[in-house]
């Protein structure tokens, strides 16, 4: 049996607490990508997969290496975000090679979507890179390694020749029919380490799912979905999704599904069939989704609400039309107003993301976003600060129009546009956004109204209020650019 250990590197500069003492981190859920890879490998070959989530276990680099070494892996797979690459992922790989020098290390995940060809030059200790959807290419690579065959003709593989030349093979085949993939191997996760946001937890246990891959829009200038290896949009059949839901209920007593699709509310016929199956098969659970504001209708929302959808989240991003045009979001403020209004009318909780400090955005433009959020009076909002995602279309402009700081999280600013006078002004703007939003009388009235109709909503609302208010009053360390 070949032991494959997938790894999520630790937060940069993390200190070890350890899984036994670690508290559940609010908003952290198990990543499904490694679950899909694990189930595909275990179904099709002599592979046994495990997962070291250093973020969830709150491990530092040293403890992460110890955990991996204890598992005695034959193969190590690293998945990492770009923000973790220099100070976490690459550093971890170099340390692993000191202890497990003969163990192949493969890197995949979001960073490789935009920077697949640079990974091997940036970190020579990595043996192979597999960007994009990797079930087929990873299995092909591991089978060749297991059988002592040359791996270098594997589709989608990026590798280094003995001469040092880095070669990127043609992009591998993708799975067109997602129904043929086995469901994620959830046995690799330690469920005790994950905690959904308060706004996503009216019932427990809760688990994430995806019904599609890729973004049907894929044009936002701040997002990785426009990358070379970005996944094209495909969707599982409603019947296949229902089968996974039944399995989660039978195995894990799941009562709440958190759908992670980039845009769940697309393909009206799909939505109609899915909701019909939930009701006709008398599946008793609640669920939440993410959606663009310009692809849904009130009729679609009504069908979803009747089938158990209690919450919908919108990526609104900005309340300023100039910024929406800059980032190529593709929706209007009026479409935002309609989507929120319709969701409220069918009884759904509403959630939204907003971003402050985009390139060329002035403090006055940020105020427009905060004012627009207050106008919508959504149940839960998150105000992120813009951060540069390298390789995205907006990154080049951002570097010309501002300066970067150390990334420590999406709430704490790591980018300062030249249109802001200083870093402190932007930080105060983000924190004041939470105070201005959550301390409004109109917001409290909506909270009371919903609590009367849904008593369990009160507890979740209190948790959420404490969490967001904590961000508003937290004392952050001074940044250095």
Here the CATH number for the domain that contains residue 399 is 3.20.20.70
pLDDT of res. 5: 98
Examine the domain organization and report whether 141 and 229 are in the same domain.
no
Look-up: residue for tokens 């290390």?
A: 105
CB 425 within 8 A of CB 385: no
CA–CA distances in Å: residue 401 to residues 157, 360, 389, 404: 36, 7, 15, 10
Write out pLDDT tens, residues 301-319. Answer: 999 999 999 999 999 999 9
Would residue 48 count as lying in a domain?
Answer: yes
Q: What is the C-alpha to C-alpha distance for residues 308 and 178, in angstroms, rounded to an integer?
A: 24
Residue 293 has pLDDT above 50, yes or no: yes
Mean pLDDT, rounded, for 390-410: 84
Higher pLDDT, 85 or 62: 62
Q: Are 202 and 457 in contact (CB under 8 A)?
A: yes
CA distance 341 to 345: 6
Task: Look at residue 188 and tell me if it is in a domain.
Answer: no
Quote the CA–CA distance of 69 and 99 in Å, as a whole number.
Answer: 8
Domain count, the chain: 2
Are 98 and 211 in the same domain? no
Q: Is 224:391 a contact under the CB 8 Å cutoff? A: yes
**Residue after which a domain boundary falls, among 150, 168, 186:** 168
Tokens of 211: 């019904």
Q: 115 and 231 share a domain? A: no
Would you say residue 177 lies in a domain? Answer: no
C-alpha 469/C-alpha 481 separation (Å) is: 27
Please indicate, yes or no, whether residues 228 and 156 belong to a single structural domain of this protein: no
Query: Closest by alpha carbon to 22, among 48, 45, 55, 52?
Result: 55
Nearest to 36 by CA among 227, 205, 210, 230: 210
Dihedral of CA atoms 235, 387, 429, 371 in degrees, nearest 10, equals: -30
Residue 390: band (very low, low, confident or very high) from pLDDT cuts 50, 70, 90: confident
Residue 176 lies in a domain: no
Same domain, 272 and 420: yes
For residue 358, name the pLDDT band (cuts at 50, 70, 90). Answer: very high
If phi > 0 it is left, if psi is from -120 to 50 it is alpha, else beta; for residue 355 that is beta
Question: Is pLDDT of 87 > 90?
Answer: no
Per cent of the chain over pLDDT 90 is 67
**Whole-number Å distance between alpha carbons of 347 and 360:** 37
224 found inside a domain: yes
pLDDT of residue 112: 79
Question: SS3 string of the chain?
Answer: CEEEEEEECCCCCCCCCCCCCCCCEECECCCHHHHHHHHHHHHHCCEEEEEEEHHHHCCCHHHHHHHHHHCCCCEEEEECCHHHHHHHHHHHHHHHHHHCCCCCEEEECHHHHHHHHHHHHHCCCCCEECCCCCHHHHHHHHHHHHCCCCCCCCCCCEEECCCCCEEECCCCCCCCCHHHCCCCCHHHCCHHHEECCHHHCCCCCEEEECCEECCCCCCCCCCHHHCCCCCCCEECCHHHHHHHHHHHHHHHCCCEEEECCCCCCCCHHHHHHHHHHHHHCCCCCEEEEEECCCCCCHHHHHHHHHCCEEEEEEEEECCCHHHHHHCCCCCCHHHHHHHHHHHHHCCCEEEEEEEECCCCCCHHHHHHHHHHHHHHCCCEEEEEECCCCCCCHHHHHHHHCEEECCCCCCCCCCEEECCCCCHHHHHHHHHHHHHHHHCCHHHHHHHHHHHHHCCHHHHHHHHHHHHHHHHHHCCCCCCCC
Are 151 and 159 in contact, with CB atoms under 8 Å apart?
Answer: yes
Q: Is residue 180 part of a domain?
A: no
Distance CA 5, CA 69 (A): 10
Q: Provide the pLDDT for residue 452.
A: 64
Residues 123, 211 within the same domain: no
Segment among 140-154, 189-203, 352-366 with least mean pLDDT: 189-203
What is the model's pLDDT at position 19? 47
- Look at residue 461 in the predicted model and tell me its pLDDT: 65
Residues 6+ apart with CB under 8 A from 459: none
- Residues 95, 216: one domain? no
Q: Is residue 113 part of a domain?
A: yes
156 and 82 co-located in one domain:
yes
What CATH number has the domain bearing residue 44? 3.40.50.280
348: tokens are 């759904």
Per-residue pLDDT tens digits for 413-431: 889 999 999 999 999 999 9
User: Which residues lie closer than 8 Å to 182 by C-beta, 6 or more apart?
Assistant: 36, 39, 40, 43
384 lies in some domain: yes
To the nearest whole number, what is the mean pLDDT of the chain? 89
At residue 23, φ and ψ (nearest 5 deg) are -90, 150
Cβ atoms of 170 and 132 closer than 8 Å? no
Q: Residue 473 is encoded by which pair of tokens? A: 């009053």
Query: Among 292, 273, 290, 276, which residue's Cα sits nearest to residue 336?
Result: 292
Interstrand relation of 166-168 and 158-160 (parallel, antiparallel or unpaired): antiparallel
141 and 221 assigned to the same domain = no
Instruction: Enter the tokens of residue 258.
Output: 């958190």
Q: What gap in Å lies between CA 139 and CA 51, rounded to an integer?
A: 17
Instruction: Please tell me the predicted confidence (pLDDT) of residue 481.
Output: 55
Same domain, residue pair 158 and 201: no
- Same domain assignment for residues 144 and 204: no
Peptide bond into 14 cis (omega under 30): no
Domain residues for the domain of 245 are 196-473
Domain boundary at 122, 148, 168, which?
A: 168
Could you tell me the end-to-end alpha-carbon distance of the chain, in angstroms, rounded to an integer?
48
Is 215 in the same domain as 319? yes
User: pLDDT tens digits, residue range 456-469?
Assistant: 666 666 666 666 66
The pLDDT tens digits for 245-266 are 999 999 999 999 999 999 999 9
């Amino acid at each position: 049996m070949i032991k494959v250990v997938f790894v999520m590197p630790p937060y940069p500069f993390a200190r070890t607490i350890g899984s036994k003492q670690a508290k559940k981190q609010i908003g952290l859920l198990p990543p499904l990508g490694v679950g899909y890879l694990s189930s595909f490998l275990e179904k099709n070959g002599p592979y046994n997969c495990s997962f070291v989530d250093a973020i969830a276990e709150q491990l530092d680099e040293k403890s992460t290496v110890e955990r991996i070494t204890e598992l005695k892996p034959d193969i190590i797979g690293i998945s990492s975000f770009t923000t973790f690459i220099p100070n976490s992922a690459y550093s971890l790989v170099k340390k692993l090679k000191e202890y497990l020098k003969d163990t192949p290390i493969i890197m995949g995940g979001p960073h490789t979507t935009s920077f697949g060809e640079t990974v091997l030059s940036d970190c020579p200790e990595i043996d192979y890179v597999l960007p994009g959807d990797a079930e087929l290419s990873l299995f092909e690579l591991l089978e060749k390694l297991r059988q002592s065959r040359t791996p270098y003709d594997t589709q989608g593989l990026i590798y280094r020749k003995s001469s040092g030349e880095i070669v990127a093979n043609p992009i591998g085949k993708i799975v067109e029919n997602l129904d043929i993939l086995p469901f994620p191997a959830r046995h690799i996760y330690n469920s005790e380490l994950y905690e959904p946001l308060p706004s996503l937890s009216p019932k427990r246990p809760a688990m994430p799912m995806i019904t599609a891959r890729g973004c049907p829009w894929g044009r936002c200038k701040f997002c990785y979905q426009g990358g070379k290896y970005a996944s094209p949009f495909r969707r599982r059949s409603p019947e296949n999704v229902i089968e996974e839901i039944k399995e989660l209920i039978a195995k894990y007593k799941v009562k709440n599904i958190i759908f992670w699709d980039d845009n769940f509310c697309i393909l009206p016929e799909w939505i109609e069939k899915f909701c019909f199956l939930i009701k006709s098969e008398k599946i008793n659970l609640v669920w939440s989704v993410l959606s663009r504001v310009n692809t849904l209708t009130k009729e679609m929302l009504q069908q979803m609400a009747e089938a158990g959808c209690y919450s919908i989240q919108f990526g609104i991003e900005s309340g300023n039309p100039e910024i929406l045009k800059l980032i190529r979001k593709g929706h209007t403020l009026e479409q935002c107003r309609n989507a929120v209004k319709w969701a409220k009318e069918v009884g759904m909780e509403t959630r939204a993301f907003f971003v402050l400090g985009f390139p060329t955005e002035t403090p006055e433009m940020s105020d427009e976003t905060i004012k627009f959020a207050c106008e919508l009076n959504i149940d839960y909002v998150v105000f992120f600060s813009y951060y540069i995602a390298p390789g995205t279309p907006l990154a080049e402009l951002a570097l010309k129009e501002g300066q970067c700081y150390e990334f420590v999280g999406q709430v704490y600013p790591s980018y300062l546009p030249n249109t802001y006078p200083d870093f402190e002004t932007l930080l105060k703007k983000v924190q004041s956004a939470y105070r201005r939003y959550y301390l409004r009388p109109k917001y409290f009235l909506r909270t009371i109204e919903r609590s009367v109709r849904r008593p369990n909503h009160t507890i979740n609302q209190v948790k959420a209020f404490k969490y967001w208010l904590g961000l508003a009053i937290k004392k952050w360390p001074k940044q250095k650019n």
